[in-house]
Structure 1
């Protein structure tokens, strides 16, 4: 049993360290671009908010879970537990929403000017900031229910059964109310996640279709001696499919765990 806890702790610690290093490298790259005078694109704003959201997940979930596995399992404040769970849920939701928004923005960007997205190609950058803040507001409203049922393991509330999360616990009054609460909460959260995943998959499929049509249109222009090499459209299509499938795989794995 001790060895299994050690393995789990090392896995969580590795994920947390890799995530922190990845976000730190992105922050450093944007700082360097700022001092070099690089003009940021509208999509760079999405990446900045994605860094903030991922940092919230790492600090509110990765670090406490790692500490819980290695022995520090109690947060003495109910407010601390409620805040950690709320920040984790909001950060996770904003992360998925930001990737969804980025996918839709990419579809609009690469779509031809004679398509139905031509009008949005000019207007999309203007709506970027309101869309990002809307993601934050919606995720705060959707996940506001979580702090209500989370309390510290050191709390004096012992008249109900608790579900242990390692460093905090949730209050469960009885089986009937627990099932009802879990069903309603899961349905609400699942709807938001499925909507974002659906939009991401739709955006990925749309980009692949646009690239395929573009490849067919310019195929007669390219020289015949380059036909043996992979075209830019084919390489972009492979990248899109790889990124989308990897994201969906890890999302499903995270949901199961």
Structure 2
């Protein structure tokens, strides 16, 4: 095994293990809060589905890519390749949608009561579950097309038209399929990224205007700590900026793979590393906000000394 392949395998393995442990720890934290009587916020449902999408992305991309980088090439048959790529695409799509939904919901949450979003403040939480359900259904239907263009390396059908994707093979460039499938799969993602950028800009504007309005209050020796809404907004802004950066890089590499008749193994491995970057980093960005909620919840339970006491964190 070449030293370069070994290095890529070690990086893939480390990235996958760290990402799985981070998402598992965050999921256990939410389960612990739930079973100890803490009432979770509306956005926590979005975060929980984001964690599930991260798990799917890491297991379907990080694990097989690690095995391939360490020298195990022919470990998936035709059905296995189709399933792995399909699960990864669904997890990636739901991750995009839930991050977008989280940022839009946070804009509605922190918007002033006299703004045009005032009517949505009470209505928005009621539609979160339905919106997440639509995200899963949409991407499960859209990405069925992936099953048609990914095969295992053991398959002998159209072998001259295949391109090497590491541990699987893909159909070679076809102008008709590219012109139909690429827009169908990319338009929803581009729309969500644009919506995230708009939501991030709106959050920055709202926080800046709020800071100017309360500047004279802070001079009167009040607590300089920001509100829970502001801290949550800051963490979501970091989350969105991290996602958009990794998404743009991932798209650039995927475009190169799609347009190339025979993409190099280094290009395929680099694209895989970038594609699981966000699922790896995501739980650690959210953990600071969740840890504050943990302390607030148990501080309230300790003060009230009542097992029935709950707090909306």
Assess same fold via TM > 0.5: yes
Q: Which has the larger displacement, 94-103 or 204-213? A: 204-213
Deviations 1:66-91 (A, max 9, x none): 01111221245322111111100000
What's 1:186 paired with? 182
Whether 1:136 aligns to 2:132 is: no
Q: Which aligned pairs between 1:71-86 and structure 2 lie closer than 5 A?
A: 71-86=71-86
Query: 1:9-158 to 2 correspondence within 5 Å?
Result: 9-158=9-158
Q: Give the 3 Å change call, closer, same or farther, for CA 70–96 of structure 1 in structure 2.
A: same
TM-score by length of 1: 0.89
Higher relative contact order (CA 8 A, sep 6+): 2
Give CA-to-partner distance per residue, 1:5-50, whole Å, 9 cap, x none. Answer: 1121122112111110111111110121122111111111111111
Kept in 2: contact 1:208–1:240 (CA 8 A): no
Q: Which runs of 5+ in 1 are unaligned?
A: none
**Corresponding residue for 2:247?**
251
Count of residues in correspondence between the two structures: 252
Counterparts in 2 of 1:36 and 1:212: CA distance versus 1, 3 Å: same
- Shift of the alpha carbon at 1:103? 0.3
1:197-216 superposed matches below 5 A: 197-216=193-212
Cα deviation for residue 154 of structure 1 reads 0.9
SS in 2 for 1:163: strand
Look up the SS of the partner of 2:144 in the other structure. coil
> CA 1:76/1:206 → structure 2, altered by over 3 Å: closer, same or farther?
closer
What is the alpha-carbon distance in structure 1 between the residues aligned to residue 121 and residue 61 of structure 2? 37
Worse-matched range after superposition: 232-241 or 24-33: 232-241
Tell me the alpha carbon deviations over residues 136-155 of structure 1, each in whole angstroms, 9 at most, x when there is no partner.
11111221100011111111
Deviation larger for 215-224 or 28-37: 215-224
CA contact (8 A) 1:75 1:168 kept: no
**In 2, distance between residues paired with 1:244 and 1:67?**
30
* Cα distance in structure 1, aligned partners of 2:193 and 2:3: 36
Does structure 1 conserve the Cα–Cα contact (< 8 Å) formed by 2:103 and 2:236? no
Q: Shift in Å at residue 156 of structure 1? A: 2.7
Aligned partners of 2:73 and 2:167 also within 8 Å: yes
Tell me how far apart the structure 1 counterparts of residues 235 and 42 of structure 2 sit (CA, whole Å): 21
Match of 1:167 in 2: 167
Per-residue CA distance 1:174-224 (angstroms, 9 max, x = gap)? x5xx23322332222221121111111111111111112212222222225
Q: Which residue is equivalent to 2:218?
A: 222
